[in-house]
Amino acid sequence: MSSRINVRWPMDLDGPRESLEAKQPEIDNGLDVVHPSRYTSREFMEREWQHLWPRAWLLAGVVSDIPEPGDYFTYEHGHESFIVVRQQDMGIKAFYNVCPHRGNRIAHAEFSNAESFTCSFHGWNFATDGELRDITEENTFNPKLIAHRPGLNEVRCDLAAGLIFINMDPKAPELADAIGLPPGYLENYQIEKMHVVHHVRSEWRANWKTGIDAFYETYHLPYVHPQTQTVMEDYSQIDLYPNGAHRMIVPFGTKAHAIADDESVDDGLRGMMIDAGIEPEGFPQRASEVRGVIQAAKRERAERLGLDHYDKFTDGQLIDSWTTGVFPNVQLGMHPEGVFIMRFMPHPTDPERFFYDNMILFRYVDDPDYTVPAWMGLPEGTDVTGTVRPEITHVPVDVRPELGEVLNQDIDLVPVVQKGMRSRGFRGPLWSELEGRLRHYHKELDRYLGE
Ligand code: FES
Ligand SMILES: [Fe+2]
Residue nearest to atom 4 of ligand 1 (CA): 122
SS3 call for 259:
coil
- pLDDT value of residue 254: 95
Flag the least confident range among 123-132, 243-252, 369-378. 369-378
Q: State how far the Cα of 199 lies from the Cα of 386, in Å rounded to an integer.
A: 13
pLDDT surpassing 70 at residue 2: no
**Alpha helices, DSSP H, located in 263-386:** 267-275, 290-304, 315-319
The Å distance, Cα 119 to ligand 1 centre, comes to: 6
pLDDT at site 4: 63
Q: What is the mean pLDDT of residues 381-405?
A: 93
In angstroms, the CA 121 to CA 242 distance is 45
Q: 146 C-alpha vs ligand 1 centroid, how far in Å? A: 13
The pick from 106, 121, 141, 145 for probing ligand 1's pocket by mutation, whose C-beta has the most ligand atoms within 8 angstroms, reads: 121
Q: How would DSSP label each residue in 57-93?
A: -EEEEEGGG--STTEEEEEEETTEEEEEEE-TTS-EE
Query: Left if phi > 0, otherwise alpha if psi is -120 to 50, otherwise beta: which for 20?
Result: alpha
All structural domains of the chain: 36-55+184-449 (3.90.380.10), 58-178 (2.102.10.10)
Nearest CA to ligand 1 atom 1: 102
DSSP 348: S
Helix/strand/coil for 440: helix
Cα distance between residue 138 and residue 204, in whole Å: 46
Q: Residue 140, exposed/middle/buried by CB under 10 A (0-12, 13-18, 19+)?
A: exposed
* Mean residue pLDDT across the chain: 96
328 upstream amide cis, omega within 30 of 0: yes
Q: Environment class of residue 355 by beta-carbon count within 10 Å: exposed (0-12), middle (13-18) or buried (19+)?
A: buried
CA distance 330 to 335: 16
Bond from prior residue into 36 cis (ω within 30 degrees of 0): no
pLDDT for the residue 3: 54
* Residue 306: Cβ-neighbour burial (10 angstroms; 0-12, 13-18, 19+): exposed
Read off the pLDDT band of 371 (50, 70, 90): confident
**pLDDT, tens digit, 9 for 90 and up, residues 218-274:** 999 999 999 999 999 999 999 999 999 999 999 999 999 999 998 999 999 999 999
- Among 355-364, 366-375, 394-403, 442-451, the minimum mean pLDDT is found in 366-375
Ligand 1, atom 3, lies closest to the CA of: 122
Q: What is the pLDDT of residues 94-120, one digit of tens each?
A: 999 999 999 999 999 999 999 999 999
Which of 2-11, 262-271, 356-365, 383-392 shows the lowest mean pLDDT across its residues? 2-11
By C-alpha distance, which of 395, 359, 381, 365 is closest to 65?
359
User: What pLDDT shows up at residue 440?
Assistant: 98
Q: Lowest-pLDDT range, 340-344, 345-349, 447-451? A: 447-451
Distance between Cα 420 and ligand 2 center (Å):
17
Please say if the pLDDT value at position 192 is more than 60: yes
Q: Is the pLDDT of residue 77 over 60?
A: yes
Establish whether residue 122 lines the binding site of ligand 1, counting it when its CB lies within 6 angstroms of any ligand atom.
yes
User: CA-to-CA distance for 62 and 223, rounded, in angstroms?
Assistant: 34
* Predicted confidence (pLDDT) at residue 315 exceeds the cutoff of 70: yes
C-alpha–C-alpha distance, residues 124 and 117, integer Å: 8
Please name the residue ranges forming H helices in 338-404. Answer: none
What is the predicted pLDDT for the residue at 57? 98
The phi, psi pair for 312, rounded to 5°, reads -85, -10
Centre of ligand 2 to C-alpha 196, Å, is 22
**Distance in Å, CA 410 to ligand 2 centroid:** 5
Q: Is the CB of 133 under 6 A from ligand 1?
A: no
Instruction: Give bridge partners of residue 342 from the DSSP assignment.
Output: 331, 358
- At 1 the pLDDT is 44
Nearest residue to 57 via CA among 162, 180, 152: 180
Per-residue pLDDT at 25 exceeds 70: yes
